[in-house]
Chains A and B, each alone.
Chain A
């Protein structure tokens, strides 16, 4: 994986010093809270309901054991012993003291990590396919391109005060495991006439106005990737709305101009930019690529001993096909029954780091579904790995099941939330686990947001739940039919909302209907697409 050279390290160190200076000027009264706010946000520091939250960047969701151990140690030293993995493949600490922030950033810098641009109206951490470099179905590893974009987008002088935040995802497989078209820019690395290039989708997003990004260019040559990105951003920086923060994301600009007109403006800017020579030298990509070269895979067992049914179940549910047939990618579920989705203790984080060192060439990935992946595990080692995970309460066999839900922190932590997400997630997983229906339901993506900002991706859930405030009482709207995968779709609301108990019953009713009427091999989403909303409405409201 990528390693900083002297320059990368110096950039991060410079930022830590800059932030220390900003914090000092805030304490000296030279900066007002209003002036300090965007600066601390650009260093990942939010003020939440009860404390500061620090969001640490994990570029394209890849990290090594040493970094993971540092994350666990920070959880114990500065937080209350927990880290929370997020849908942006990042990690958040929810109980941080402002006066510790600069020290935490310094601890992170020691292991080539930081919290830069994890918040604020700038280009955020670049996300990617969590199985990158391991999946059997990818064209190439997308991470070298993501790393090139990371460098370009870090401390970009023109794009630090954008109309609104800006999120970029890069994938390189037909199967989309990164919700690529629900990003401000989604890039798919593709092949055309034997050449590798980038396909650009611009203007997707969730939030209060969910939109699926239209494709604006089917092929950008790789030696123009940064230039084209720069053109996309410049048009947005100049013409994105700044009069209303709820209409300031690029999706609104693309929608209001129309994809064709936005594209025309980008192409014009792109033609101009090409003359400016902003593209990094081509050798830079070639320098980056070897960092992501395959580790030394060895041939070994292709199958596991299935005599232990619990182990066999975990293998079936939580492993993903690897490009080398003696390996798999193993998903460590952070969704134990009744747990808080995405939470891990400092001890668990260190255990995962150790296991990565032992079984996965020292590498881990964070999934946008708030789980952790060991990307390269020998099939022969799976039983030993599972045994260790199970002992640490990390062995839940529930990937992509209803228990593997995404949930935002909700009203338990977040100053923006209208309703709690976590208790709902806990109760649903307990209920479906107890009734044994989880297994019967198969792949079912449940996503819960505690407000319309949609951090819990409810628009993209096969089943989505949105918490709202209704005259001071938490109320939950149910929606069906969303997908964040390559068949991207936005979920539709079923009808009037429910109480907390009511929405749990409602989830049970729609899943029962699915079990009754599904045809061979259909997932919940397939059945919904076949029969439409009406039968579900009838089951819910008649």
Chain B
């Protein structure tokens, strides 16, 4: 278990799911590919999310780590996982700040465990930033262009 990150479950501040939160510690992407029983994994910015695609059925939690908010690779990782049909919890962890929440939500994240606790009111406002959206993503929202031509 040398690859086990040994993380206690992160403190999840926002969660948009009804199921019970997974309480497993996460393993690295490499470890996840080797262990047939790992149910929770953590993706780092340099990991290729697609290496997880064969294992999505057994995963209940995928954490995407943002060591620095300015590194946007995790947004692509999240969308790729959702596009492949992953339906488990997709949790943004690390340097997760107010102004990234709305975009993260659009890329398929449904749980957030920021390093530093966020102001609840500011966060609520941030999640509600976009009443309408231009792009089709994995959140299933109808786009502006679709509304124009329905």
Contact = CB atoms under 8 A, between A and B. Distances in A.
Contacts of A279: 136
A161 B107 CA distance: 13
A162 B72 CA distance: 6
A18 B126 CA distance: 8
Contact of B147 (A7, A18, A38, A156): A7
B132 A154 contact: no
A7 B148 contact: yes
Give the interface residue-count category, chain B. Answer: 35 or more
Interface in B100-139: 100, 102-104, 106-107, 119, 122, 125, 129-137
Contacts of A280: 136, 143, 145-146
A157 B69 CA distance: 14
A154 B144 CA distance: 12
A533 to B, nearest CB: 42
Interface string A129-167: 000000000000000000000011011111111100000
B70 interface: yes
A530 to B, nearest CB: 47
B98 A237 contact: no
A26 to B, nearest CB: 11
A520 interface: no
Contact of A157 (B122, B131, B135): B135
Interface string B73-85: 1011001000100
Contact of B149 (A160, A242, A283): A283
A10 B97 CA distance: 24
B52 to A, nearest CB: 14
B99 interface: yes
B93 to A, nearest CB: 16
Interface stretch (A270-278, A307-315, A473-481, A498-506): A270-278
A440 interface: no
A10 B132 CA distance: 8
Nearest to A163: B72
A22 interface: yes
B80 to A, nearest CB: 8
B107 A272 contact: no
B71 interface: yes
A223 interface: no
A276 B70 contact: no
Nearest to A36: B99
Given A7-B144, A10-B132, A157-B107, A276 B71 contact: no
A157 B101 CA distance: 10
A14 B149 contact: no
Interface residues of A, number: 41
A18 B133 CA distance: 15
Given A234-B76, A284-B149, A39 B99 contact: yes
A264 interface: no
B33 to A, nearest CB: 19
Q: Which of B99, B102, B104, B133 has the most CB of A within 10 A?
A: B99
Contact of A154 (B75, B99, B134, B146): B134
B149 A151 contact: no
B75 A158 contact: yes
A192 interface: no
A284 B134 contact: no
A161 B99 contact: no
Contact of A281 (B75, B99, B149): B149
Given A7-B147, A18-B129, A151-B144, A278 B73 contact: no
A35 B145 contact: no
B134 A151 contact: yes
A302 interface: no
A163 to B, nearest CB: 8
Nearest to A161: B72
A10 B135 contact: no
A284 to B, nearest CB: 4
Contacts of A283: 148-149
Contacts of A238: 48, 73, 76
Nearest to B145: A280
A156 B135 contact: yes
Contacts of B45: 242
Q: Which of A21, A158, A159 has the most CB of B within 10 A?
A: A158
A39 B126 CA distance: 13
A415 interface: no
Interface string A1-35: 00001011011001000100110010000110001
A155 B72 CA distance: 14
Given A7-B148, A272-B83, A157 B103 contact: yes
A111 to B, nearest CB: 21
A21 B125 contact: yes
A453 interface: no
A287 interface: yes
A30 B119 contact: yes
B72 A237 contact: yes
B137 A161 contact: no
B143 to A, nearest CB: 7
B76 A7 contact: no
A5 B136 contact: no
12 contacts: A151-B145, A152-B135, A156-B134, A157-B102, A157-B103, A157-B106, A158-B76, A158-B137, A161-B72, A278-B136, A280-B145, A284-B149
Q: Which 4 A-B pairs have the closest CB atoms?
A: A161-B72, A157-B106, A280-B145, A157-B103
Given A121-B72, A160-B103, 6 more contacts: A35-B99, A154-B134, A158-B72, A158-B107, A237-B72, A278-B136
Interface of B: 45, 48, 69-73, 75-76, 79, 83, 97-100, 102-104, 106-107, 119, 122, 125, 129-137, 143-149
